[in-house]
Copies of this chain bind each other. A is one copy, B any other.
Amino acid sequence: MATIAPSRRVRRTPFSDGVEAAGVKGYTVYNHMLLPTVFRSVVEDYHHLKSEVQVWDVACERQVELRGPDAARLMQMLTPRDLRGMLPGQCYYVPMVDETGGMLNDPVAVKLAEDRWWISIADSDLLLWVKGIVHGFRLDVLVDEPDVSPLGVQGPKSDDLMARVFGDKVRDIRFFRFGWFDFQGRSLAVARSGYSKQGGFEIYVEGSDIGMPLWNALFEAGKDLNVHAGCPNLIERIEGGLLSYGNDMTRDNTPHEAGLGKFCSTQTAIGCVGRDALLRVAKEGPTQQIRAISIDGDIPPCDRAWPLMAGDKKVGQVTSAARSPDYNTNVAIGMVRMTHWDAGTRLTVHTPDGPREATVQPKFWI
């Protein structure tokens, strides 16, 4: 395996000193920023995530901040999800598409106030799209990337750890809601959310200077909880069907293909870019869609799309795959043509190590 080269362009985070001290072994780059991928081993990290509590440097979930009188209008232009019922204090998972309905990102919208939003982004420079739209439509809104870096606390003991640092009130935060909590005199947005199915929180750390103090406070408070540094876990996120933009869907795909049709209220999301195209898609339905797929045998790391074959015919592709200790199979995410997407369909996946038998699953594992 090649190492990752140091440069300012691949940005460090406010938590990088802690991540390094915790012995990070692998990185990826996400939004031009370092994102840890493994500490002890992907399997050890996986078991620990499912039984204990981890602190995650997910600062790479950069925020696009919208401020100004047109912020809410702009937000609705950016997503086919109907935002009319959304209140300050709520987080919405919002697919974002271009004028043809192709996905540009799948961020979480954080409504701070009617005229102030954060868009917590997946791996694409969504800021540039938003700035282009604002400029083209001459909207009265400021768009920028603020000094806000999410820190994840994930795993079954997350509530206990968080309560020790922020007080018992954090236990009352409902899923995809956030509240304001004090840390060293600063008020931080704390949401019940995160890129795992093990429960937990994301702290929107505003101000890089308190990154390491908060990191250290969590580790200090969690010693007897066996807290470890962690990161989004490849195995667990596939088991849970948590999609990764750039891996499982790209600009080539509609939200409906990505299985995100339920987040598209295209009829009522008036003004959203791509509405015409998505109305058509919603009417006809997608011809391919994300599926959980199990794969037999040994597989290499999935660093490219693996063709899914029915005999000689390509009927889809696998884009994420890993060996699951808990389910004793290779768990995978793939895009499958409608002719072959029914649960139980047997297919062949062409990996760089050769063909493997695969089975379309009725649902994800977690």
A98 to chain B, nearest CB (A): 6
Q: Mark A218-261, 1 if CB is under 8 A from B, else 0.
A: 00000000000000000000000000111100000000000000
Q: Choose from B8, B11, B27, B245 the contact partner of A5 (Cβ within 8 Å).
A: B27
Q: Of all chain B residues, which has the CB nearest A352? A: B17
Which residues of chain B are within 8 angstroms of A25 by Cβ–Cβ distance?
2-3
Is residue A76 contacting chain B, with contact meaning CB distance below 8 A?
Answer: no
Is residue A356 contacting chain B, with contact meaning CB distance below 8 A?
Answer: no
Which residues of chain B are within 8 angstroms of A137 by Cβ–Cβ distance?
136
Which residues of chain B are within 8 angstroms of A132 by Cβ–Cβ distance?
128-133, 135-136
Q: Of all chain B residues, which has the CB nearest A104? A: B128
Which residues of chain B are within 8 angstroms of A32 by Cβ–Cβ distance?
123-124, 246
Q: Does A244 contact B4, Cβ atoms closer than 8 Å?
A: no
A149 to chain B, nearest CB (A): 15
Q: Of all chain B residues, which has the CB nearest A244? A: B9
Q: Choose from B29, B133, B302 the contact partner of A6 (Cβ within 8 Å).
A: B302
Q: Of all chain B residues, which has the CB nearest A3? A: B1
Which residues of chain B are within 8 angstroms of A320 by Cβ–Cβ distance?
7-8
Q: Choose from B1, B7, B104 the contact partner of A28 (Cβ within 8 Å).
A: B7
Q: Does A8 contact B246, Cβ atoms closer than 8 Å?
A: yes
Q: Does B304 contact A8, Cβ atoms closer than 8 Å?
A: yes
A38 to chain B, nearest CB (A): 7
Is residue A10 contacting chain B, with contact meaning CB distance below 8 A?
Answer: yes
Interface size class of A (residues with CB under 8 A): 35 or more
Given A2-B25, A135-B133, A136-B135, A8 and B128 contact (CB-CB distance below 8 Å) = no
Which residues of chain B are within 8 angstroms of A133 by Cβ–Cβ distance?
132, 135-136
Give the docked Cα–Cα distance between A125 and B320 (Å): 23
Q: Choose from B9, B124, B247, B305 the contact partner of A246 (Cβ within 8 Å).
A: B9
Sort A-B residue pairs by CB-CB distance and give the 7 closest, nearest first: A136-B136, A132-B132, A9-B246, A6-B303, A29-B29, A125-B125, A5-B37
A8-B319, A32-B123 are known contacts; what are 13 more A-B pairs with Cβ within 8 Å?
A2-B25, A2-B36, A3-B3, A4-B26, A6-B302, A32-B124, A129-B131, A131-B132, A132-B132, A133-B136, A135-B136, A135-B273, A136-B137
29 contacts between A and B (CB under 8 A): A1-B4, A2-B24, A3-B3, A4-B27, A4-B28, A5-B26, A5-B27, A5-B38, A6-B301, A7-B303, A8-B246, A9-B244, A9-B245, A10-B28, A10-B29, A12-B303, A29-B29, A32-B123, A32-B124, A98-B135, A99-B131, A125-B125, A125-B128, A128-B129, A129-B131, A129-B132, A132-B133, A133-B135, A136-B136
